[in-house]
Amino acid sequence: DARVTQTPRHKVTEMGQEVTMRCQPILGHNTVFWYRQTMMQGLELLAYFRNRAPLDDSGMPKDRFSAEMPDATLATLKIQPSEPRDSAVYFCASGLEEGGEQFFGPGTRLTVL
Amino acid sequence: EDQVTQSPEALRLQEGESSSLNCSYTVSGLRGLFWYRQDPGKGPEFLFTLYSAGEEKEKERLKATLTKKESFLHITAPKPEDSATYLCAVQANQAGTALIFGKGTTLSVSS
Q: Are the beta carbons of A42 and B101 separated by less than 8 Å?
A: yes
Residues of chain B found within 8 Å of residue A91, distances taken between Cβ atoms: 43-44
Asked whether the predicted pLDDT for residue B90 surpasses 70, the reply is yes
* Pick among B2, B90, B97, B100 to test the A interface (most A CBs inside 10 A): B97
Is the distance from CB of A77 to CB of A20 less than 8 angstroms? Answer: yes
Return d(Cα B79, Cα A65) in angstroms, integer.
Answer: 42
Residues of chain A found within 8 Å of residue B96, distances taken between Cβ atoms: 48, 50, 55-56
Q: pLDDT tens digits for A75-92?
A: 999 999 999 999 999 999
Q: pLDDT tens digits for A8-27?
A: 999 999 999 999 999 999 99
User: Which residues touch B106 (CB under 8 Å, ≥6 apart)?
Assistant: B9, B10, B11, B84, B85
Return d(Cα B47, Cα B88) in angstroms, integer.
Answer: 10
Mark residue B11 as left, alpha or beta (left: phi above 0; alpha: psi -120 to 50; beta: remaining).
beta
The reported pLDDT for the residue numbered B96 is 65
DSSP β-bridge partners for residue A33: A48, A93
Rounded to a whole number of angstroms, the distance from the CA of B53 to the nearest CA of chain A is 17
Rounded to a whole number of angstroms, the distance from the CA of B104 to the nearest CA of chain A is 8
Return d(Cα B12, Cα A6) in angstroms, integer.
Answer: 32
Return d(Cα B107, Cα B93) in angstroms, integer.
Answer: 30
Q: Are the beta carbons of A107 and B91 separated by less than 8 Å?
A: no
